[in-house]
Amino acid sequence: MKKILVPTDFSECAKNALKAASDIARKSEAEIHLVHVYQIPVWGFAEANVDIIKNRLLHEKIEKELYKTANFDFLSGLKVRKHIFTDMKIHDALKSKTFVDADLIVMGSHGISGWREFFIGSNTEKVVRLIEFPVLVIKEWYVNFEIKNMIFASNFSSETDSVFVNIKKIAEIFQSKIHLLKIITPGNFEPSNYTTEAIKKLVRKFYLANYSINVYNDETVEDGVLNFSKSIESDCIAIETHGRTGFAHLINGSIAEKLVNHIELPVLSIKIKFDSMRY
């Protein structure tokens, strides 16, 4: 791992994510790229003027805040680069050519629920849905961020292989035990021996040594992941997402996004690569 992106709005939850990113960077010898985006304000309602002086002062203020953030004590000794994007959404900034070789995004989130989740969503949710890189969502402050027990919840289909490459890389950084998990729900029954064999196939393909195989029954996938994570005291939940957008997203939603919004544990989300030739 060489490049970790950390979006920041200078909030406490963004600081929590940066602290976790710093611990990952030390273990992997990666450099951190701080990313801030803002909209250039229009000053004056009558003429809708763009005030050059006021906007220059605003930009200078942001630069100072970014400099202060890049010099937090816990970043000492790490290589930190700073980036400012204007008039751009955070997910568009993260998809810029500047970050084409990024390995991981670490992002803070407060979590949302109710009508705001359905109609508006959050920047974190949109990044999880739209970005191709692995996204690690952090909600709390960690004095020393570690992943000793990682859950990987999956259907263990053929699409899983492209996702698991990155899961394994991150697990190796922390020497984590990977708990391979398939949730069986009432509406999605599957014989245990069939499920277990699909998981064993992944184990053999990636030469896993430190792992467990788990088939867990629950009402929903989200409930199953949450309840299982409590039973083993996991440190992180890794999950694959199809990154659906538009109407398909409204109908199907995303388990990864629901976990990001409703679970306090760190959630590592990786988008499945779409292969048009298969369709």
pLDDT at 46: 46
Question: Of 134, 133, 129, 159, which is closest to residue 245 (Cα–Cα)?
Answer: 129
The per-residue pLDDT string of the chain (279 residues; one tens digit each, 9 = 90 and over) reads 899 999 999 999 899 999 999 999 999 999 999 999 988 776 555 444 557 787 888 889 999 999 999 999 999 999 999 999 998 888 889 989 999 999 999 998 865 443 333 333 367 767 877 788 899 999 899 999 999 999 999 989 888 888 899 999 999 999 999 999 999 988 887 888 888 999 999 999 999 999 999 999 998 888 889 899 989 989 999 988 765 443 333 333 466 666 766 678 899 988 876 543 343
pLDDT at 222: 85
Question: Of 169, 181, 173, 178, which is closest to residue 259 (Cα–Cα)?
Answer: 181
Q: pTM score, two decimals?
A: 0.85
Are 30 and 4 in contact, with CB atoms under 8 Å apart? Answer: yes
Question: Of 117, 145, 158, which is closest to residue 24 (Cα–Cα)?
Answer: 145
Give residue 218's identity as a one-letter amino acid code. Answer: D
pLDDT at 80: 97
Task: Could you list the beta-strand ranges (E) of the chain.
Answer: 3-7, 31-38, 80-86, 104-108, 135-138, 149-153, 177-184, 211-217, 236-241, 267-271
Are 27 and 73 in contact, with CB atoms under 8 Å apart? Answer: no
pLDDT at 157: 85
pLDDT at 177: 96
pLDDT at 68: 96
Task: Tally the C-alpha atoms within 13 A of residue 273's C-alpha that lie toward its C-beta.
Answer: 11
Domains of the chain and CATH, by start? 3-138 (3.40.50.620), 149-278 (3.40.50.620)
